Amino acid sequence: MNRGAVLGSTQYAISLWDISAPVAPTAIPLDGDKVTDVAIIGGGYTGSSTALHLAEKGVECLVLEGEKVGFGGSGRNCGMVNPGIWLPPQDVRTVLGERVANRFLDAMGKAPDTVFSLIERFNMQCEATRNGTIHAAHSAAGYKELAARAQEWQRRGRDVKLLSAREAEEKIGTPRFYGGLLDPQAGTINPMGYAQGLAEAAMASGATIHSETRAQKLSQVGDKWLIETDRGTVTANKVIIATNAYTDDLWPGLKQTFTSIHFYQVATEPLGDLADKILPEEQSVWDTGLVMFSIRKDKFGRLIIGSMGKLAGKNDSASESWAQKQINKMFPFLGTVKFEKSWHGKMALTPDHLPHIHNPAPGLYTPIGYNGRGITTGTACGQAMAQLLTGTPEQEIMLPVTTMKKDLGAFIREPVYEGCFKAWRRYKSI
């Protein structure tokens, strides 16, 4: 039976993608003590990408995942393979400077190619569709912002297209938006399927992945690193912490370098032929609103819509009410729909809205702060870590290596943001 066509038990599923993705990779828990060259903490996009690219370079590496592969943001993602980042590219130059910005933007511009080439090379079963994504303007001001983004990306040689309101309506299926920015090189995937595919590819290339093995303590012992887990120890020459928004207190202060933001999604049951009227070219959409909104379909005709905030519980009626209201406004021909699954995940939002690669101690690195662009950024950062650990100079990888800097306002912003998101959802549900 096709797992995506009819959902089975959702008791332990973290998202729709967790159910409709192929069977999870054959990672097993750690049993005893091990020694490796590079230990990677976190089995999401960054961890598995790092392991894959290191293994292909002949480096012995081992991944420790506290739950199952893709349990964190990777398996809860929207599934949009976007080259862009939170900041407009012209603002990246202001933050990073011309030389570093050019290197970073070039890497991110190529990131969708990297993702889709890995999917093809390793035959990953993840519902990959590469018909582009649409950044939709929620207002006239949003459209002006998109026009500036389009101009800068076109200046950099990217084949993006600024859509009029009519063109956006034709591609999305609703007159709600003022226009949009189409990036035809982007696309959509089942994000859990991709996380599982990366892990399988890493193991097939020689990496070891241990699931259900939580790193509890990290310490230096001479010139080595010792990771103590609930199932044994790992001794390594170098360590990568690849946990992004799901970072805990393993390394002091790391969790305080970003603000944790939740994003929830609600999926309908398969819509049958009516699904053909929505996103007929199978793009996915996110908007320019301050409280971001997303729309996409899966391969089985489900409509998945999302926004910022977290669910109140397993049966969050406010989220379903909000979702139905949005459907009524955008796609009234659907009428009242049935919802099949809802979930939320976390994003790591940095003060400058850019990812960082920190080096908090000799031999310890952590790429972090993907600002809602986990698929491409995590994959690209994994490549960068493999390059760095196999001799590429720091000044040649996608981002400079920096020291950690705490975001002192994060502990205040997180509850404030969540309160605002909850109030917004209730308002939009009226």
pLDDT computed for residue 3 by the predictor: 44
DSSP letters for 81-106: E-S--SS-HHHHHHHH-HHHHHHHHH
- Quote the tokens at residue 150: 């389009």
Residue 4 has pLDDT above 50, yes or no: no
pLDDT tens digits, 19-41? 999 877 889 999 999 999 999 99
Residue 231 has pLDDT above 60, yes or no: yes
Residues 6+ apart with CB under 8 A from 384: 107, 357, 367, 397, 398, 399
pLDDT computed for residue 312 by the predictor: 72
Q: Exposure string (b/e) for 348-358, b if CB count within 10 Å is 16 or more? A: bbbebbbbbbb
pLDDT tens digits, 361-370? 999 999 999 9
| pLDDT (average), residues 128-135 | 97
pLDDT computed for residue 5 by the predictor: 41
Residue 290 has pLDDT above 70, yes or no: yes
pLDDT bin (cut points 50, 70, 90) of residue 356 is very high
Using the structure block, give the residue that is written with the tokens 């669910």. Answer: 311
Residue 318 has pLDDT above 90, yes or no: no
pLDDT computed for residue 316 by the predictor: 67
Q: Which one-letter DSSP state was computed for residue 276?
A: G
386 with 121: CB under 8 angstroms? no
Residue 191 has pLDDT above 50, yes or no: yes
pLDDT computed for residue 22 by the predictor: 86
Residue 194 has pLDDT above 50, yes or no: yes
Structural domains of the chain, ranges and CATH numbers in brackets:
16-132+185-429 (3.50.50.60)
Q: Which of 7-11, 76-80, 310-314 has the lowest mean pLDDT?
A: 7-11
pLDDT bin (cut points 50, 70, 90) of residue 315 is low
| pLDDT (average), residues 252-276 | 96
pLDDT computed for residue 9 by the predictor: 41
Q: Which one-letter DSSP state was computed for residue 177?
A: S
pLDDT computed for residue 2 by the predictor: 40
- Quote the tokens at residue 224: 């080595």
For a pLDDT cut of 90, what percent of the chain falls above it? 84
Residue 52 has pLDDT above 70, yes or no: yes
Q: How far apart are CA 100 and CA 78, in angstroms?
A: 29
**Sign of the C-alpha dihedral, residues 175, 180, 185, 187?**
negative
| pLDDT (average), residues 110-122 | 97
- Quote the tokens at residue 407: 């975001």
Highest mean pLDDT among 59-63, 290-294, 315-319: 59-63
Structure pTM? 0.95
Nearest to 367 by CA among 247, 262, 212, 228: 247
pLDDT computed for residue 160 by the predictor: 95
pLDDT computed for residue 430 by the predictor: 66
| pLDDT (average), residues 200-204 | 97
pLDDT bin (cut points 50, 70, 90) of residue 10 is very low
399 with 358: CB under 8 angstroms? no
